[in-house]
A and B are shown apart, each in its own frame.
Chain A
C-alpha cells in the first residue's frame, strides 16, 4: 500500500527535499573522507573539537536560513556576531563584579547580549518592512553600523570573560560534548517547533510567493519582522558560543561568518529565491564546511587552497541541483527571477 492518493509519500518527500538530500549526500561523502583520515575521530576529543568548531557557524546559519527562506539575504550576520561578541567581553566582568557573583554576571551578560542581538535584528526588520527596502541593501548598510559599534566597544582584540564562562557554555557532560547538545537544541527545540508552527508555514509561504501569501491572509509584515529579529537573536547566540571558545572579542574577524553562513545555507539546499529548504539542510552545509577544513589540514594542503575548495564546492553543489531541473522541462523557458 505504498500509494497514498496519486503520489507515494517517498516521491513527495523527494520532491520537497531534493536539494537537501543532495546536501546530505555531500556531507556523507565528506564525513567518510574525514573519518578515513582522522583515525582518532571517534575519540571524545575528536568529536568534541569537531563540534566546537562548527557551533558558531551553525547558529549563524540558523539565522541566515530564516532570512533566506523568506527570499532575502542577511549580509549583517557577521556584524551582528561581532557586535554581540564585543558586547559580551565588555560587560561580562563588570557585571560580575557589580553583582558580586560570577554566575550572576554570566547570566545577566547572556541575557543582555541576546536582547541586543534581537534588537539589531529587529532594526533590520523594521527597515525592510516599514522602510520598504530590499533586505540585501538594509543588511549591507547595517553591517557597517553594527561592525562599527563592535569596533567602538572593542578597538583592539581583547576583552575579558568571567572564568567559569567557557566551562558552562562548552565542555562536556559526561561523554556527550555540550556542543553536540547545542546542536540538538538548535534542531529539536528551535527549528522543528518553528517549522511546524503557523509562523513557520508563513515563512515558507512568503518565500514561495509573497503576494499569494499576503492575499491568503498571512501577516507578512509581522512574520518578516520576527524573522529578522530571530536572525539577530541567533547571531547573538553564535557570538556567545564564539566568546566561550576564543575568550576574547575581535570584531574584525567576524566578517567571514556572513559569507560562510550564506555558503552553508546554499550548500544545504535552501534556495536563495526562498520557500525551499530549511535548517536541516543548513546543518549539512555547516558540517561540510567545517569538515573540509579539517580534511585539508590533515592532507597538508596549504591554507590558501581552502578558499578555492570552498568556491568550487559551492558551484558544484548548485549546478548539480540545477542540472536536474534542466533535465525535466525548463530547458526552453526562462526561469522567473
Chain B
C-alpha cells in the first residue's frame, strides 16, 4: 500500500518538477505575480474587465509577434512586419464598402504572403542578411503605403471586423479567444509537425539541417511568409479595434514585438524557445504599459522602465542558463 502511495507521490513530484521548473512556466508565473503586484498598486485592476482588456490589447501584439517569434527562431529577424501590419489595416479599411468582404480579406492576406515571399527570396536566394532584407522591405513598403493611400488613410473598419476585435461572447472577448486559437495552431505547428522540428533544427544549425537533406531555403521562405501573414492578420484586427487605420500605426509595435519574443525566452540566436513564451511576454509588456500609464508616468519614464525591464529579464535568463 505504502509503495503505491510512494509511487504516486514520486510521479506527482516529477510532474510538479517538470511543470513548474520549465522556463516557460516561470514566465507565466511572472505574469501572475506582476498582475497581483499591479493590483496592489492599483486596486481597481482587480476586475475581470481590466484583465480582459489587457489581454485583448496584448493579443494584437501577440499575433504580430508570432511572425517575429518564427523569424527569430530561425536566427533571423523581421523588421518589415510593422509596415505589412499597417498596409493590411489600410487595405481593409479603405475597402469597407466593397460587398465582397471575404475576397478583400483573402487579398490582404495574399498580399501579406507575397511580401513575406519577397523577404524569404531575398534572404535565401540573394543571400541578403535578414536584418538588411527586412529593413529594405520596410522602406519599400512604406513608400507603397503612401502610394496606396495618397498620404492619408481613409475609410473605417467594417462592422464584422469591429465585432471580432471589440465584442465579447459569454463574458470573454472574441479577440482573446481568437488569439488563443491561433496560438494553439502555432504551438501545434512548432511542436507537433515535422515542419516545426525542421524549423528548430535550422535555427540551431543550418549546416546540420542541410546535410540531413532538408530544404533550408524552403523552410526559411515559409517562415517569412507566415510572419508577414500574421502581421497582416494583426493589422486587420487592430484596425477593427481602433475603428480606422492611420499611417504609422505599426511603428510603436516593432521594438515591443522583439521584446515580447525575447522576454518569452526565445534566444536571439535561434533554435531555442517558442511561441508559448511570447504569449506571456506580450501580456507582461502590456501590464507594464498599462500600469505605467496609469501611474501617470510620462512617456520618457515609461520608455526607460521598458528598456530596464527587458535588460533585467534577459540578464536573469542568462544567469539561469549558466547555472
Assembly CA distance A231 to B300 (angstroms): 23
Give min CB distance, B223 to chain A, whole Å.
14
Q: Does residue A137 face the partner (Cβ distance < 8 Å to B)?
A: yes
Contacts of A131 in B (CB 8 A): 311, 314-315, 318
Give min CB distance, B83 to chain A, whole Å.
10
Interface residues of A in 237-265 (CB under 8 A from B): 259, 262-263
Give A267's nearest chain B residue, CB to CB: B132
Give min CB distance, A119 to chain B, whole Å.
15
Contacts of B305 in A (CB 8 A): 148
Q: Contacts A152-B300, A315-B126; is A304 near B307 (CB within 8 Å)?
A: no
Q: Contacts A141-B314, A149-B300; is A272 near B129 (CB within 8 Å)?
A: yes
Q: Does residue B258 face the partner (Cβ distance < 8 Å to A)?
A: yes
Contacts of A322 in B (CB 8 A): 126-128
Partner of B303, one of A127, A147, A266, A305: A147
Assembly CA distance A145 to B302 (angstroms): 9
Assembly CA distance A336 to B322 (angstroms): 25
Assembly CA distance A152 to B302 (angstroms): 10
Please state if A136 and B268 are interface contacts (CB–CB under 8 Å).
yes
Q: Does residue A133 face the partner (Cβ distance < 8 Å to B)?
A: yes
Q: Contacts A132-B318, A304-B143; is A148 near B133 (CB within 8 Å)?
A: no
Q: Contacts A137-B268, A318-B128, A318-B132; is A144 near B140 (CB within 8 Å)?
A: no
Q: Does residue B295 face the partner (Cβ distance < 8 Å to A)?
A: no
Give min CB distance, B277 to chain A, whole Å.
15
Assembly CA distance A323 to B127 (angstroms): 9
Partner of B133, one of A134, A140, A315: A315
Number of interface residues of B (CB under 8 A): 49
Please state if A144 and B255 are interface contacts (CB–CB under 8 Å).
yes
Give min CB distance, A163 to chain B, whole Å.
28
Assembly CA distance A127 to B315 (angstroms): 9
Q: Does residue A217 face the partner (Cβ distance < 8 Å to B)?
A: no
Contacts of B311 in A (CB 8 A): 127, 131, 138, 141-142, 145
Give A127's nearest chain B residue, CB to CB: B311
Give min CB distance, A94 to chain B, whole Å.
20
Please state if B140 and A311 are interface contacts (CB–CB under 8 Å).
yes
Interface residues of A in 110-153 (CB under 8 A from B): 127, 131-134, 136-138, 140-152
Give B127's nearest chain A residue, CB to CB: A322
Q: Contacts A307-B140, A311-B136, A315-B133; is A337 near B303 (CB within 8 Å)?
A: no
Q: Which residues does B use to contact A, with CB under 8 Å?
A: 75, 77, 122, 126-129, 131-133, 135-140, 142-144, 146-147, 151, 206-207, 210, 216, 255, 258-259, 262, 268-269, 298-308, 310-311, 314-315, 318, 322
A131-B315, A148-B306 given; name 20 further pairs at CB < 8 Å: A132-B318, A137-B314, A143-B307, A145-B304, A145-B307, A145-B308, A151-B303, A152-B300, A259-B135, A262-B132, A263-B132, A263-B135, A272-B131, A306-B143, A307-B139, A314-B136, A318-B126, A336-B206, A336-B207, A337-B75
30 A–B contacts, CB within 8 A, in A order: A132-B322, A133-B315, A133-B318, A134-B268, A138-B311, A142-B307, A145-B303, A145-B307, A145-B308, A145-B311, A148-B299, A149-B300, A151-B300, A266-B132, A272-B132, A273-B129, A302-B146, A304-B147, A306-B143, A307-B140, A308-B140, A310-B136, A311-B135, A312-B136, A314-B136, A315-B126, A319-B128, A322-B127, A326-B127, A337-B206
